[in-house]
Amino acid sequence: MNKSRPSSIYGPVDSWRLGKSLGVDVLCVDSICSFECVYCQLGKINRVTLDRDIFVTTEEILEDLAETNWKDADVITFSGSGEPTLAANLGDVISKLKTKTGKPIVILTNSTLLNLPEVRSELSMADKVFCKLDAWSDDVLRRVDRPHVGIDLESIVEGICLLRDEVDGFLAIQTMLLRAPCESDIQAFADLLNRIGPDEIQLNTPTRPIPPEYFPETRGNEVEYDQGFTQLKTISKTELESIRLAVSRLVGCTVVAR
């Protein structure tokens, strides 16, 4: 086993959506993503890519699992050091962990690789998929998510729609809000959501301070922060609730906010 990397399994951590969640990090040799979100709790993304590869072997992940209290978890959640669908062995890991643990599998994805049939096939093995959609325009996408070259809003929405059409499991949209959208932006966002037809929409605000460099300890929700971390200014809980109500009036599914 590569002892120079963090463990690929962390937690269980308390999740407001999922209960006790055991994290699986299929990327933890580095921070690896197709986005460089301004609010990323990991800090700096060191590898910005759309290329899939095996970063941590399935065997290593199973060895890490054996060293944890995985039986205490309610669910197993794939997130960690970036975008989990970049791991070429994602499907194999999902299959092996489902067989080993019998726990529900949740995938958190930034939705950038959902245009690939093999990725959608792998995600079909999960019980729940949470798809990131932070933007209602390409300008917002570039400013908030800072995507890899070639990614635009339409490609992301189209990929989520393909997944929605092909997968029977629970699909939620996760949106991080830094600023309050105007009425026309809320309408544009609602139009995208109605096009996708998710089971749930989750509106969030960035509450965790941002480290200056890749900091894998922030994968969980219990970490010691120091003065080198940056706290983003964002909207209030009152503003968030107002946005939730506005979106709820325009879409045909549950909208929750935190």
pLDDT digits (tens, 9 = 90+) for 236-249: 999 999 999 999 99
Please state, in angstroms and rounded to a whole number, the distance separating the CA atoms of residues 223 and 230: 14
Instruction: Give me the domains of the chain, ranges plus CATH numbers.
Output: 9-257 (3.20.20.70)
Question: Within 10 Å of residue 243's Cβ, how many Cβ atoms?
Answer: 22
Q: 146 or 224, which is more confident?
A: 146
Q: With a cut of 70, say whether residue 3 has pLDDT above it.
A: no
| Residue carrying the six token digits 């899939």 | 52
Q: With a cut of 90, say whether residue 208 has pLDDT above it.
A: no
* Average model confidence (pLDDT) across the chain: 94
Nearest to 219 by CA among 67, 9, 57: 9
Q: Which residues of 32-55 are buried (b: 16+ CB within 10 A; e: fewer)?
A: bbbbebbbbbbbebebbebebeeb
Write down the pLDDT at residue 15.
Answer: 87
Mean pLDDT over 9-30 rounds to 92
pLDDT one-digit tens code per residue, 77-115: 999 999 999 999 999 999 999 999 999 999 999 999 999
pLDDT one-digit tens code per residue, 162-172: 999 999 899 99
SS3 content of the chain, % helix, strand, coil (to 5): 35, 20, 45
Tell how strand 19-24 and strand 32-33 pair up. unpaired
- 183-196 and 153-166 helices, crossing angle to 10°: 40
- CB-hemisphere CA count at 13 Å for 66? 8
The rounded Cα 40 to chain-centroid distance in angstroms is 11
Output the DSSP codes for 91-128.
HHHHHHHHHHH---EEEEE-STTTTSHHHHHHHTTSSE
